[in-house]
Amino acid sequence: MSTKMEERTRAEVPPDKQGHYEVLIDNETTRITFHRIEKGECSGWHRHEHDYVGYHFGDSEVQIERGDGDAPSQMASKTGVATFYEVGDGFEHNVTVLSDTPLIALEIEYKKT
């Protein structure tokens, strides 16, 4: 996953509200992370520093808190949809699942070389 912001996550997110993630591949060019986040759980604060694709395996509704102080927003993830995210100088966020169905996704980061 992108760079975890452990200190902020520990301060703001109880351990039992942190979703599951597993880094499947991490080499000099690519990082692939599997996410499963249940209702009421969150990703934990993290920073995206590389462009990436998110691919969702189920429909879910999430709230996104941004580290830049913008108001939280909501987004629906849809089964089978791949979305490319160009991150520019990077951004920080925390994603919380609002729906009864979990967020199940792969995140494929393209490391800058």
Decide if pLDDT at 10 tops 90.
Answer: no
Token digits for 90? 């990077």
Give the residue from 89, 106, 104, 83 showing the smallest Cα distance to 30.
Answer: 106
In the prediction, which pLDDT does 69 show? 83
- Is 86 within a domain? no
- Is 29 within a domain? yes
Q: Are 93 and 65 contacting, i.e. CB atoms less than 8 angstroms apart?
A: yes
Q: Are 50 and 17 contacting, i.e. CB atoms less than 8 angstroms apart?
A: no
- Is 70 within a domain? yes
> From CA 54, how far away is CA 69, in angstroms rounded?
23
What is the DSSP code (8-state) at residue 71? P
pLDDT in tens, 43-75: 998 999 999 999 999 999 999 999 888 889 999
* Distance of alpha carbon 47 from the chain centroid: 9
CATH code, 54: 2.60.120.10
The number of folded domains in the chain is 1
